[in-house]
Structure 1
Amino acid sequence: MFAAIWAQDENRLIGNGDTMPWHLPNDLQFFKNTTENNTIVMGRTTFEGMNKQPLPNRHTIVLTTDRDYQAEGVTVMHSVDEVVAYEKNYDGIVFITGGAKVYQEFLPLCDIVYRTVIHESFEGDVFIPDIDFDVWSMIDVSDGLVDSKNKYPHSFETFKRKK
């Protein structure tokens, strides 16, 4: 099964270059708890924005068109079809984790979406593609705790594709 997970601001912003334009530990913990012991798929730029460090307790697939690309501790794939073939033989969840082009290519294949909405506006240049939420049902929503480490109001939303 494919699922997508991301955090965005009120304007669908998800990044600034290869980094996130905010610091929200609650969202990082949500991401960890949701994706742990599964596979995550990301583009090369997203991976390099993480200092080329795979996340612990997850199998990481880096998607790139560069046939010579190599990175330690990850599986490099070069097409959506390769990832789809992997998913067909995988018992866990394959999480799509960015960037924008990767989301655009995989959202039509996803059954679940995990979206953190940060109720602020930030500066950046990477946006989540337009999504037709008429084909999705919200199955869960909860507000994140705002405190000294998590300064922005935010909500965790889960959507399931309508059949």
Structure 2
Amino acid sequence: MVFRPRKPTLRRPRGHPGGDGAVRPDRRAVGGAGAAAARAEKAGRPPKWSKRRLIDGIRWRVRVSSPWRDVPARYGPWQTVYGLFRRWRRDGTWAQILAGSQTRADAAGLITWEVNVDSTIMRAHKHAAGAMKKEICRPSRRLE
């Protein structure tokens, strides 16, 4: 085994106000595109299912109105589909999507904002309202 010395690196002490412990001054990004790109990378495992497929699963479930456990496997595990739906419902993403689509449709003239009032009256039988019944029942005492 051949011993190869490491290249020297310049490290800042902990708590140094200069930043995140950039290793070499010649490769240091000072608030430019490199810093933004470093923040944009997400930590952790990459997603196994695309958002598009999960949203298709949510749309399938709403259209068919079945239980979450019946979502087909092609849309991903039902727990993942439901988790995305629940997370977006709690943080207001679905409300923003609805408001945005309504705004675009209204601007295009595709929505007619009308109010319809149904004034149909359904009457119950007179006995249901507590009316006096004719000769069906005898009074319990004599009227004088």
TM-score range, shorter chain: under 0.3
TM-score of the two chains, using structure 1 as the length reference? 0.22
Higher strand proportion (structure 1 or 2):
1
| Higher relative contact order, structure no. (Cα contacts within 8 Å, ≥ 6 residues apart) | 1
Higher helix proportion (structure 1 or 2):
2
